[in-house]
Amino acid sequence: MDAAFADSRLCGAMSYSLMAPGKRLRPVLCLAAAETVGETTEDIIKAACAIEMVHTYSLIHDDLPAMDDDQLRRGNPTCHVKFDEATAILAGDALLTLAFEILSAPPDFSKNASLRLQVIQIIARAAGNKGMIEGQMRDIAAEMETVDITVLKQIHQLKTGALIEASVVTGALLAGGSPESIAPLKTYAENIGLGFQVMDDILNVEGDTVKMGKATGTDAVLHKSTYPSLLGMEASRKFAAQLVNNALHAIKIFGNKAIPLAALAEYIIKRER
């Protein structure tokens, strides 16, 4: 952030949410995908940081009283609780726009402008009304009715899966991945994206609030349709395990280069937060 604005209330709210303890799953996936098909560069690190900004903006807005009305995020009071609603909205807006400022201004933009524009389009699509925002809209609508498993999958593929897939594809593209190498990475991302959400639903039932860093038991209170409520806990666990197995199978072709991605997939079903 520019020094002239670094001490402002807005930047304070942005930093508070962005730097709070978290999994950083999406940027790590971006870097791991890059290492699977090539190597990590400064450009890829910047893209990974931008993706985390997009994700953090979505968390700030999801936590607002008009949406999920959450009080705790990453073990800390949510942004609107720590500051106020107006500041939280603006901090989210600012993180989203800062992400695209970073994505559009690499030192060597002129050398790979076409690739950079492709990455910007992928992330914008995943974050917008064809991805994350549409998923959140459908999730809000689903609170008013019971949905079936097919609809629930569609919601989570948009709300959670879209940005996870964009993270993986971005890393691979910027590392020089070919269409042939990116196809199995997409399959991997689709499966872990859904698997992550299944485990999130499970942890909302039986997770520990301190370990999770956010409130648990909220889905039942709100009567939300979740994988445990539709499938039961045991079937939900099996479904998550199957999704992870699908992801691991997709990246077998990369051999040892995919060890970081494999470890991240296995973390999905072993995590406690």
Look up residue 10 and give its two tokens.
């807005």
Q: Give the amino acid at 107.
A: P
CA dist., res. 253 & res. 70, Å (int):
42
Per-residue pLDDT of the chain (273 residues; tens, 9 = 90+): 555 456 699 999 999 999 999 899 999 999 999 999 999 999 999 999 999 999 999 999 999 999 989 999 988 999 999 999 999 999 999 999 999 999 998 666 556 888 999 999 999 999 999 999 999 999 999 887 889 999 999 999 999 999 999 999 999 999 999 999 999 999 999 999 999 999 999 998 886 676 656 666 676 666 788 999 999 999 999 999 999 999 999 999 999 999 999 999 999 888 876
HSE value, Cβ hemisphere, 13 Å, CA-based, for 147: 19
Pairing mode, strands 76-77 and 72-73: antiparallel
For the chain, domain boundaries:
9-270
d(CA 20, CA 32): 22
Q: Which residues contact 54 (CB under 8 A, 6 or more apart)?
A: 95, 96, 99, 123, 127, 163
Superfamily of domain 9-270: Farnesyl Diphosphate Synthase (1.10.600.10)
CA distances in angstroms from 6 to 9, 10, 46, 154, listed in the order given = 9, 9, 19, 40
